[in-house]
Amino acid sequence: MKIAILTNEYPPHIYGGAGVHVEHLVRELAALEGRQHQINVLCFGDQHEKTDNIMVQGVNPDFPFAAQDPRQVKMFDALLRNLVMAGVLAGAEIVHCHTWYTHLAGCLLQQLLGIPLVLTTHSLEPQRPWKAEQLGSGYQAVTWLERTAYHNADGVVAVSQAMRQDVHDIYDVPLAKIRVIYNGIDTQKYRPTSDPALLAAYNIKPDKPFILFVGRITRQKGIIHLVQAIKYLKPGLQVVLCAGGPDTAEIGKEMAARVEQARADTENDLIWIEKFLPPEQIVALYSQAALFVCPSVYEPFGIINLEAMACGTPVVASAVGGIKEVVDADTGVLVPFAPQSRDNPEPQDPEGFAQDLAAAINHLIQDPEKLQIMGLKARQRVEQHFSWSSIAQQTLDFYRELSHGGR
């Protein structure tokens, strides 16, 4: 097949789970069936690569946008890149889009080339109301664009059963059009790895257990709730927050104030690493942590939990979305979560949620033997259920069904 993959993120410009997904999906699709399939990746950036059956073209037009609200510039920039993508792509038999950033191009190419349109649901804009802080009224425009794409898609890949139901409930996409194909993990890259020198470099004490958060500073990832929970943690712990890239200046300031207050409210060491670390350092942190904590308020899948589990680390996570299909009772603890509403995923009782997070951490951290057993089972679960080669094959099979079925 001649497959077009449209994405915002692609190496080396990856900042979230969607980018990780696309990177591995492309690699594994290209390796299937004797490398006979041609993969054309159109992405945001200056990439330009070609191997035997992968062509990567970065799209980076230089055009100064005028906008009544400067927060809308990012949206206009994305739409211009979509027009370029729709103009340069030829010869594809199917187009597969990832996130709203490429939906306009996908819809245009579906019509211009007469080919099936596939969308992978990494998230849905109506479930991320905090995006209005970033995009202003542009948030309403991209939600409209996303809705239009889902109404026109020939097939939808949902990364969890929970996400499949959300696509159906929010955008009225027939369930028959939606295929659940989980995210995966590279178990060679993510595996137990010790690096005492790295701990020393960040002033993490090797003789005291630490809990770990890794992620962007965004409402979605719930880091503010974890910081609020720190005052309820038992003494004798370290808290390591590997958190950078705030969505907005406002949440960045709020995070700094909350961390300062948390330090005043606890005897435990709080280490905040305010930058994105290279993957090998993240792997070493996962591996040496006693627990990984994922306090997300919205998570279609939660690939971050797979990364920690692959490194042999148990997880304490919010019982939301796809996380409930990744973390089980043998590999971690799911903290009950009640959102305010479908349109506002923030917790009904923020302080109560923070207390519940702390209680789950305190319960597990006092039982090192149980933690060790859970860590081993976490690694086993990842190896058995979340292989990228299997995910690529399922995706290719879905492409074939849609192509053979016609439009």
The CB density around residue 53, as the number of other CB atoms within 10 Å, is 17
pLDDT at 406 over 70: no
Give the per-residue pLDDT at 371: 97
Residue 179: inside a domain:
yes
The CB density around residue 335, as the number of other CB atoms within 10 Å, is 25
pLDDT at 19 over 50: yes
> Which class for 161: exposed (0-12), middle (13-18), buried (19 or more C-beta within 10 A)?
middle
For residues 51 and 131, membership in a common domain is answered with: yes
Residue 135: inside a domain:
yes
Contact 106, 129 (CB under 8 A): no
For residues 311 and 398, membership in a common domain is answered with: no
- pLDDT tens profile 99-129: 999 999 999 999 999 999 999 999 899 888 8
Nearest to 213 by CA among 200, 203, 223: 223
Give the per-residue pLDDT at 56: 97
Q: Is the pTM here over 0.95, yes or no?
A: no
For residues 357 and 391, membership in a common domain is answered with: no
- pLDDT tens profile 364-377: 999 999 999 999 99
- pLDDT tens profile 379-403: 999 998 898 988 999 999 999 999 9
Residue 190: inside a domain:
no
Residue 32: inside a domain:
yes
pLDDT cut 70: percent of the chain above it: 99
Contact 26, 9 (CB under 8 A): no
For residues 247 and 117, membership in a common domain is answered with: no
For residues 16 and 85, membership in a common domain is answered with: yes
Kindly give the pairing relationship between strand 38-44 and strand 117-121: unpaired
- pLDDT tens profile 40-96: 999 999 999 999 899 999 999 988 888 889 899 989 999 999 999 999 999 999 999
For residue 185, give Cα distances in angstroms to 22, 31, 60, 214: 12, 16, 29, 16
For residue 356, give Cα distances in angstroms to 52, 233, 240, 318: 52, 11, 19, 10
Rounded Cα distance, 178 and 171, in Å: 12
Token code pair at residue 148: 């239009």
Q: Supply the CATH number for residue 160's domain.
A: 3.40.50.2000
Q: How many domains does the chain have?
A: 2
Residue 201: inside a domain:
yes
For residues 213 and 146, membership in a common domain is answered with: no
pLDDT at 405 over 80: no
pLDDT at 342 over 80: no
Nearest to 266 by CA among 233, 310, 309, 244: 233
Contact 89, 43 (CB under 8 A): no
Longest distance between any two alpha carbons in the chain, whole Å: 63
The CB density around residue 387, as the number of other CB atoms within 10 Å, is 17
Residue 141: inside a domain:
yes
Give the per-residue pLDDT at 67: 85
For residues 144 and 215, membership in a common domain is answered with: no
For residues 67 and 158, membership in a common domain is answered with: yes
Give the per-residue pLDDT at 256: 97
Give the per-residue pLDDT at 364: 97
Tally the residues of the chain.
407
Q: What is the dihedral of CA 236, 242, 248, 250, to 10 degrees?
A: 20
For residues 120 and 237, membership in a common domain is answered with: no
Query: What does the mean pLDDT of the chain come to?
Result: 94
Residue 189: inside a domain:
no
- pLDDT tens profile 227-258: 999 999 999 999 999 999 998 999 999 999 99
Rounded Cα distance, 71 and 134, in Å: 6
Nearest to 258 by CA among 276, 242, 272: 272
Q: Which of 186-190, 340-344, 373-377 has the lowest mean pLDDT?
A: 340-344
Q: Which of 3-12, 36-45, 162-171, 339-348 has the lowest mean pLDDT?
A: 339-348
Residue 267: inside a domain:
yes
Token code pair at residue 340: 């305010």
For residues 24 and 63, membership in a common domain is answered with: yes
Sequence letter at residue 241: L
For residues 130 and 8, membership in a common domain is answered with: yes
Domain range enclosing 341: 196-385
Q: How confident is the model at residue 159 (pLDDT cuts 50, 70, 90)?
A: very high
Alpha carbon 99 to chain centroid, angstroms: 11
Kindly give the pairing relationship between strand 94-98 and strand 117-121: parallel
Q: What is the dihedral of CA 61, 145, 215, 301, to 10 degrees?
A: -130
The one-character DSSP state at 401 is: H
Give the per-residue pLDDT at 407: 44
pLDDT at 140 over 50: yes
For residues 213 and 298, membership in a common domain is answered with: yes
